[in-house]
Amino acid sequence: MKTVIGIDIGGTKITGILFDGKKIKKELTVTTPKNLSEFKRNLIKIADFLSAGAKIYAVGVGMAGAVDTKSGVVRHSPNIKYARDLSLVKFFHLNGFKTVRIDNDANCFTRAELLLGQGKKFQNFLALTLGTGIGGGIVINRRIYRGKNNFGAEFGHIVMGDVFLEKLFQSSRDKGDFRQAGKLIGKGLVSFINIFAPDAIIIGGGFGHNESRKYLPAAKSEIRKYLFNEKAKTVILITKLKNAGALGAALLFSKNQ
């Protein structure tokens, strides 16, 4: 695999890495801006920093929200509303990067786990990202399942009562109520287990990774309470990969992706 830039764009931060196919050579993280012009400046800042002194083959981008992977356009990003209908592929082309691919950020996380992380040992697994929002990924028979028009696996938008899971999670997270956040996450997890019966669910994202000790006990309690079939031996794992989203964006150019 040639040297590529991988960029993970989330609602709170943007992380870019320089990846040579074996290891991360450089990295840079900046805060996600509140407006489009500053957002574009930060993307170029990251790309220029990572490409300095390096021969770059391509740029891979993971973006939160509904991403059209064929056209390279962000159709809708709930937590980065100003990026609606933004063509990231065209943007990077205009700034000197010829080969560009984009994907949903949670699919990028899923790809990193599938190829380099704990997902390597499973035939079927789900990925869940907990950060500014909630994202998801589905792997069936070692392939990422995307749904019609690549818009599937929006786990944060399952409905609880008359509200999206993501909104309830964000409210609990912002209040620092880890027990309530854990109960909500657990209800989501057990729903996924009852539907898919996967080998594992791998959790990532800033909140998902950093706060796992605070929310996971309550989440596992909810799983035990609502699990339909006790023989569904789904393992709940926390990612061990650093910068998994950006890594998965870089892996858009892997032969195995």
Q: Using 50, 70 and 90 to split pLDDT, how confident is the model at 91?
A: very high
Residue 49 has phi, psi (to 5 degrees) of -60, -45
Phi, psi angle pair for 201, to nearest 5°:
-120, 125
Q: So what's the pLDDT on residue 178?
A: 98
Q: Could you count the other beta carbons within 10 Å of the beta carbon of residue 191?
A: 18
At 257 the pLDDT is 66
The 10s digit of each residue's pLDDT in 161-174 is 999 999 999 999 99
Q: For the CA atoms of 199, 126, 246, 165, what is the dihedral angle to 10 degrees?
A: -150
The label of the residue with tokens 């989501």 reads 188
Per-residue pLDDT band for 148 (boundaries 50, 70, 90) equals confident
Return left, alpha or beta for 164; rule: phi > 0 is left, psi -120 to 50 is alpha, else beta.
Answer: beta
Judge contact between 142 and 109, C-beta under 8 A.
no
- Enumerate residues 6+ apart whose C-beta is below 8 A from 148: none
Averaged pLDDT of the chain: 95
- Three-class HEC string of 210-247: HCHHHHHHHHHHHHHHHCCCCCCCCEEEECCCCCHHHH
pTM (2 d.p.): 0.95
Give the integer Cα–Cα distance in Å for 157 and 134: 8
What would the pLDDT profile of 201-227 be if each residue is shown by its tens digit? Answer: 999 999 999 999 999 999 999 999 999
User: Is residue 78 over pLDDT 90?
Assistant: no
Q: Which of 108, 130, 111 is nearest to 120 (CA)?
A: 111
What the chain holds in terms of domains, given with CATH numbers, is 4-107+243-253 (3.30.420.40), 119-238 (3.30.420.40)
- The pLDDT, as a whole number, for residue 20 is 94
Task: Let me know how long the chain is.
Answer: 257
